[in-house]
A and B are shown apart, each in its own frame.
Chain A
């Protein structure tokens, strides 16, 4: 059974950093691209970033480009999102997601399986 468990959320002041983690189990992590998706309170879904299965390609939403960094550690079966220079508008539930296709492309469909981790940016 595939499990994605997000962690690392919390309350952080504007301008401060925070790192989110997503522990993956039940699947061969190294063969799948991974995404971060977020949802602000009462709002719709917003895509944040994607990393290819081998970690060589990364793409970001314009709203986070230059501030957030997506990475992965295959030895730990874990996906990360390093968030710097946080803003009030980054307040959201952050979900990690796994692409469906083994050794596929970043544009492939992905499945959101975790419950997310809440990030609140507030002074």
Chain B
């Protein structure tokens, strides 16, 4: 069981907006920045959002992140079939002195 809690699955139809939540605590999300990774089937994870809401070069602006208190969210607008895959939130934990990953959310485009 991960310290960072994500819903195991999410889905949407092409063009829809989908959000994925990530819930933590005062020692991790509340005190540190949150990052999101995307892993499409058969590929290595890729950094999607860093420092709560920043997109690396090449990531479409359909992807956005936010953080409030002990929770964070990833939003994907204009859903496309190539967005199918697993999404992980991540942050530092001040008590564990290490990085945490959420359990991952499997996104299905219907």
Contact = CB atoms under 8 A, between A and B. Distances in A.
A109 interface: yes
Interface of B is mostly: strand
B88 interface: yes
A70 B2 CA distance: 23
A88 B43 CA distance: 23
B96 interface: yes
Given A44-B88, A100-B50, A109 B35 contact: yes
Contacts of A37: 45, 99, 101
Nearest to A65: B98
A44 B47 contact: no
B104 interface: yes
A14 to B, nearest CB: 25
Interface in B1-46: 2, 32-33, 35, 37, 39, 44-46
Residue of A35, A106, A111 with most chain B CB atoms under a 10 A cut-off: A111
B100 A47 contact: yes
Given A107-B92, A111-B56, A112-B37, A45 B101 contact: yes
Contacts of A59: 97-98
Interface residues of B, number: 26
B23 to A, nearest CB: 16
Given A107-B92, A109-B33, A111-B56, A47 B98 contact: yes
Given A107-B32, A107-B92, A112 B44 contact: yes
A67 to B, nearest CB: 15
A122 interface: no
Given A62-B96, A107-B92, A45 B44 contact: no
6 contacts: A45-B39, A45-B90, A45-B101, A111-B47, A112-B46, A114-B44
